Amino acid sequence: MALINENYLKLKAGYLFPEINRRVKAFAAAHPEAQIIRMGIGDVTEPLPPAVVDAMHRGVDDLAKRETFHGYGPEQGYDFLREPIAKNDFQSRGCDIAADEVFISDGSKCDVGNILDIFGPGNRIAITDPVYPVYVDTNVMQGNTGVATQKGEYEGPLYLCATAENNFTPDLPKERVDIIYLCYPNNPTGTVATRETLTKWVEYARKNNSIIFFDAAYEAYISDPNIPHSIYEIAGARECAIEFRSFSKLAGFTGVRCGFTVVPKSLNGFTKPAASAVGKPVPLYNLWMRRHTTKFNGASYITQVGAAAVYTDAGKAQVRKLIDFYKENARLIREGLTKAGLKVYGAENAPYAWIKTPDNATSWDYFDTLLTKVNVVCTPGSGFGTAGEGYIRLSAFNSRANVEEAIKRISKL
């Protein structure tokens, strides 16, 4: 009798975005005339940079001719992509990261989920709240949690609340945790971590032999020169952190699928200590290499050729323009809705505005209000965790016209 992974049965029904889709679909069916503006899911709307488009056409043509055909590539990614990443994203910022510590993948969501494969049972997990739901759900699947409580949390992980009261910057845990998820610039709150905050985390992790999973998917949206783009800008992070990056929000790759994960060779996990002994250190690099080469077969050649174009001069300029476009959307949202009397957080060094619901409405109530009264789709904050209750997220990924229209409509409420 084939036994299932019963941890899946602990998962609460419905991932956030399918539920949003369901409500929007039902509303649209009942009101076919409504001009719905979707500011919910954080999906890009602008076309790929021309340098990427040209490169991908060349990549397709390479596969059309025997002489330039590429079959299986290295599972870890082509050097033509790993090298510019190491140079531009890390070494140029003073981070000591080598090209062979960069693992190219088909997207950060996969990596963030799959990374747990190389970790054992018995780790205490710390997750900020509100948070990208994938962090939580993958831990449930892995058996790192108990069942869901009535509050909507799961038994087991330590939830680090990020609310207006603590300036969306949770304190360090008082207790020992083994794996810590940090996402900066933050999804969903749009807040950033200062060098001081990250330094405290690195010190904590090194003291406790904990590992930080640092999700930097939105680093390109940082304009404040004092905010680190990578955890490896902090001394000691090579000994305690894995960093996840994505081309999705950098260069419009949500439909193209490319990301990468940095696992420094100096980073250790531990075997389970016997009573009164310490565990043996094991390089996580070797374990991730094994996972990556055994359960993955490399990202598409065409995709990687496209991603490499992001690091050309033309690509850099075009990507900058794309990011600036979305950042201007974010500024309009922040300023427009603040002017309309809403309390707006984030949206300065991030593509997300995190907005307090008026009149202490619940997140889903305000979601329904925005959907039904002004036909704007947001993401209810409570979908990101219990500490997100009473907030909504608006995404800056949209056309200028839609952003302006959405601000106008919400302001009228």
The footprint of a copy of itself on residues 264-283 (CB under 8 A) is 269-273, 278-279, 282
Q: Is 290 in the site for a copy of itself (CB under 8 A)?
A: yes
Q: Which of 20, 118, 307, 309 lies at the binding interface for a copy of itself (CB under 8 A)?
A: 118
Q: Which of 114, 266, 338, 362 lies at the binding interface for a copy of itself (CB under 8 A)?
A: 114
Q: Which of 189, 300, 329, 363 lies at the binding interface for a copy of itself (CB under 8 A)?
A: 300
Q: Is 134 in the site for a copy of itself (CB under 8 A)?
A: yes
Q: Is 312 in the site for a copy of itself (CB under 8 A)?
A: no
Instruction: Return the number of the residue (71 or 341) whose C-beta is nearest a copy of itself.
Output: 71
Q: Is 15 in the site for a copy of itself (CB under 8 A)?
A: yes
Long-range (24+ apart) CB contacts under 8 A made by 167-173 are 167/191, 168/345, 168/354, 169/193, 169/197, 170/128, 172/200, 172/201, 172/204, 173/126, 173/204
* Site residue total, a copy of itself (CB under 8 A): 85
Name, in order, each residue with C-beta under 8 angstroms of 173's C-beta and a sequence gap of 6 or more: 126, 158, 160, 204
Q: Which of 32, 94, 122, 225 lies at the binding interface for a copy of itself (CB under 8 A)?
A: 122
Q: By the 8 A CB rule, do 103 and 261 touch? A: yes
* Chain residues 325-354 in contact with a copy of itself, contact rule CB under 8 A: none
Q: Cα dihedral sign for 340, 342, 348, 349?
A: negative
For the CB of residue 411, give the shortest distance to a copy of itself in the complex, in Å.
26
- Tokens standing for residue 45: 């709307």
For the CB of residue 134, give the shortest distance to a copy of itself in the complex, in Å.
6
Instruction: Return the number of the residue (220 or 342) whose C-beta is nearest a copy of itself.
Output: 220
For the CB of residue 73, give the shortest distance to a copy of itself in the complex, in Å.
6
Dist CA 398 CA 330 (whole Å): 10
* Chain residues 350-409 in contact with a copy of itself, contact rule CB under 8 A: 399
- Tokens standing for residue 132: 């990208």
Output the DSSP codes for 255-323.
Answer: TT--EEEE--TT-EEEPPPPTTSPPPEEEHHHHHHHHHHHH-----HHHHHHHHHTTSHHHHHHHHHHH
Q: Is 174 in the site for a copy of itself (CB under 8 A)?
A: no
Distance separating the N- and C-terminal Cα atoms of the chain: 57
Instruction: Return the number of the residue (1 or 30) whose C-beta is nearest a copy of itself.
Output: 1
- Tokens standing for residue 14: 């419905």
For the CB of residue 72, give the shortest distance to a copy of itself in the complex, in Å.
5
